[in-house]
Amino acid sequence: MAGGVSRPSPVSTGLACRCPRCGRGGLFSGFLTLVERCEICQLDLRAADSGDGPAVFVIFIVLAIAVPFAFSIWTWFGWPAWLVMLLTSVLVLGGSLGLLRPAKAILIALQFRHRPQDSFRQNGGSSRGVGDH
Ligand SMILES: [Zn+2]
């Protein structure tokens, strides 16, 4: 590839759970387990670490939706509390599991865009703080 290649958007690659550099290779080998290396551009993802950031964002987003949802259906429809709790639990569980992968992928893509020297090795080259011996 020649220089000047446009970089994919961190949000679009994150939502698609794709490699932050090329936007084509898959990012996950398991539910939240990252691949070691992008299958397309060979970006080393072993040192990429989003920490607890994705979980925190997902918790805030899901609860901001679930709490008004629970109070709304309880007051508008008068459903029993056990049914409201059951529906809200399904919403929280489904929303959390559904948003966690894209949230992690977006944070990794943002790290790659703004601080690539801290978390990524470029094409097998060395990078500070990665721990090659
Ligand atoms: Zn790639």
Q: Separation of 90 CA from ligand 1 center, angstroms?
A: 35
CB 27 within 8 A of CB 34: yes
Distance from Cα 84 to the centre of ligand 1, integer Å: 44
Centre of ligand 1 from the C-alpha of residue 79, in Å:
49
Q: Is the pLDDT of residue 132 over 50?
A: no
Ligand 1 centroid distance, CA of 62 (Å): 30
Residue 44: strand pairing partners: 37, 121
3-class DSSP state of 86: helix
Q: Is the pLDDT of residue 117 over 90?
A: no
pLDDT tens sequence across 54-84: 999 999 999 999 999 999 999 999 899 999 9
Domain boundaries, the chain: 10-119
Interval between CA 39 and ligand 1 midpoint (Å)? 6
How far, in Å, from the CA of 2 to the mean position of ligand 1? Answer: 15
Confidence of residue 130 (pLDDT cuts 50, 70, 90): very low
Q: How many CB atoms lie within 10 A of CB 17?
A: 16
Per-residue pLDDT band for 19 (boundaries 50, 70, 90) equals: very high
**Is a pLDDT exceeding 50 seen at residue 29?**
yes
Buried b (16+ CB within 10 A) or exposed e, 102-130: bbbbbbbbbbbeeebeebbbeeeeebeee
For residues 131 and 11, the model is more confident at: 11
